[in-house]
Amino acid sequence: MHVLRLPPVVRLPWGKNLEVDLADPVGYALATQGGLFDIVTTEVVWRLTQSGDTAFDIGANVGYFTSLLAHRVGRRGRVLAFEPHPATFPLLQRNIELQGRTGGAISAFEVALSESAGNGTLDILPERRNHISYAFLTDKPSSTSINVKLMRGDEFIGNGGIGLMKIDAQWHEEAVLKGFGTRLRSGVIRDIVFEEEAPFPAPSHRVLLDAGYTILWFEEHFRGPKIISPNDKPKNLRPYDMLPSYVATLDARRAETLLSRPGWQSF
């Protein structure tokens, strides 16, 4: 019987290498899908990020989007990557080393961003015990929970603005956003690409709408992602597909122009 042997290091479409954990679904997907994962979100992040941006990757995991952001911001930009899981963070650090010095400078922080600073509890659903990518913050510790450090996002914003912020925080998006406090309302964060499993308008959507953001959603088409209303439901979803991420933007005209162009630019 032929056994498929997958490489532990994959080549990403933008020419960078990434070490993956083949036991984890994200790593397995990257190894079996030509170095691509969540293609709609990948494309959206690619188009919205521009040279010279400061970018935040919140819930960086092993660094797939960290690598993409560093490539897009270029040497004039920088990326801050946040990953709280102690088993994942060393892999993120190794992958940052693999990126070399052709893109933006990357700083990694072994913390979870939240509404309040302190200590938090990270856990995994029993049926996903080996799937570290699905770890989530909880206030109901179990025998398998681990303690992690919590910090507010506004502690990491300097005098400059943030061009793009990507958030994948497993049901913790509202708390992450609230941790940016008044900075969220001050206009210093241009675009936010975030996951949200609850229907629109979920609490995370409300935080952003109250801060003056326009929210866009997407569906996948052969000729690229198509913008839809956040009230709509994406069509063409396959049983194994993830829901597309949302975009919250302070510059809707720019975002709609960049995201309406046909084709796929990221791969």
Q: CA-CA distance, 156 to 102, in Å (whole number)?
A: 24
Quote the tokens at residue 127.
């049926």
E strand or H helix that includes residue 11: strand 9-11
One-letter amino acid identity for 99? Q
- In angstroms, the CA 107 to CA 155 distance is 14
Which pLDDT tens digits describe the chain residue by residue (267 residues)?
Answer: 444 566 689 999 999 999 999 888 888 999 999 999 999 999 999 999 999 999 999 999 999 999 999 999 999 999 999 999 999 999 999 999 999 888 899 999 999 999 999 999 988 766 555 556 777 788 887 878 889 999 999 999 988 899 999 999 988 999 999 999 999 999 999 999 999 999 999 999 999 999 999 999 999 999 999 999 999 988 877 776 778 899 999 999 999 999 999 999 999
Tokens of 131: 């799937």
Phi-psi map region of 10: left, alpha, beta (phi>0 left; psi -120 to 50 alpha): beta
What is residue 76's DSSP assignment? T
9-259 folds as Rossmann fold (3.40.50)
What is the DSSP annotation of 109-174?
E--EE-SS-EEEEEE--GGGTT-GGG-EEESS--TT-EEEEEE-GGGG--SS-EEEEEE--SS-HH
Residue 149 pairs with which residues in a beta bridge? Answer: 119
